[in-house]
Amino acid sequence: MSSNLQTSLTVAVPSQTQSLTPAVSPDSGEFYSRIGTSLEAVKELGSWIARSGVFNCQKDEQGNMIALECLATRKTPFDFKREFHLVNGSLTMRSDAMLAGYRTRGGKVIWKQFDSTAAIGIWKYDGNECEIGFTAEDAKQAGLLPAKPGSGWQKDPSAMLRARCISKAIRMLAPEVVAGVYTPEEAADFTATPSTPAAPTPTRQTVNVTPESTFSLTDKLEQILEPHSDIANAFLLSKNLIKEGQNFRDVSTKVANMIVSDPDGFIAKAKAFSSPTIE
């Protein structure tokens, strides 16, 4: 009896060497192979990416595109972020990621200058060696300087010049690294209004409109009333539209416009006034 009770209370103790490692390997390739590449998986991962706020996505569809790229290249979202940024909805590659890709392929650079006036380096790649730089003068020509308040060009011009220099050099020597993708600094500059100097104000030509308009109106009055000046003046004087000693040329602009708009009617009234019908 006692032996049976002792047997029933026996408890198996786990081995001290038993592994506590999670079943899922941290390797991103194995992780993606587990979740598959279905459209539902892409949408789910893309929604997480977009809503995390880490990638500056403006809508879920942008997160979906990042998720699709991560699945295709077997990169984790944070590996993706180390190389790429979304700027105003456009995919960009960090300048340091460009430089890292360039160096991985055997490229070298020796910096000669790196300050707020210029970024210049000696670039060596695939048997080519040349000096490539981007200066403050180049930035002015591109409409990037003078800097806008709060822009990267105002806060850290040396870093902006360096990013432009790296992009320029690698695009020339190793375009396979960037493949048409721009740096975040370039993408931000593309969408910003260039701070080009204000266009010169066109030479002002003084045109005295009122005198010209008055002259034109007076000229028309003379064409209409000169042949009937006596009766026209008498009629205008009787209506108190001119004073004694004045003539039709002295009428107000309003009266002049009325006469020009209906010259036949005015002349008929003037003639009727000068030759009243006797009944």
3-class secondary-structure state, position 145: coil
3-class secondary-structure state, position 108: strand
Q: Which pLDDT tens digits describe the chain residue by residue (279 residues)? A: 444 444 444 444 444 444 333 343 456 666 666 666 578 888 888 898 889 888 888 888 888 888 888 888 888 888 888 888 777 767 788 889 899 999 999 999 999 999 999 999 999 999 989 999 999 999 999 898 999 898 889 999 999 999 999 999 998 999 998 877 788 777 777 655 444 555 565 665 554 544 444 457 788 888 888 888 888 888 888 888 888 888 888 888 888 888 888 888 888 888 888 776 544
Question: Which amino acid is it at 168?
Answer: K
Cα angle value 174/180/184 (rounded, 5°)? 100
> In the 8-state DSSP scheme, what is residue 125?
E
State the angle between helix axes of 253-261 and 263-274 in degrees (0 to 180), rounded to the nearest 10: 100
Q: Tell me if 50 sits within 8 A of 43, measured CB to CB.
A: no
Identify the bridge partners of residue 132 per DSSP, sorted by sequence position: 121
Q: Tell me if 98 sits within 8 A of 180, measured CB to CB.
A: no
* Domain coordinates in residue numbering, the chain: 28-81, 95-191, 210-274
Q: What residues have CB less than 8 Å from 209, skipping those under 6 apart?
A: none
Give this prediction's pTM. 0.51
Q: Tell me if 233 sits within 8 A of 244, measured CB to CB.
A: no
**Can you tell me the distance from the alpha carbon of 9 to that of 186, in angstroms, rounded to the nearest whole number?**
73
> In the chain, what is the straight-line distance between the N-terminal and C-terminal CA atoms, in Å?
158
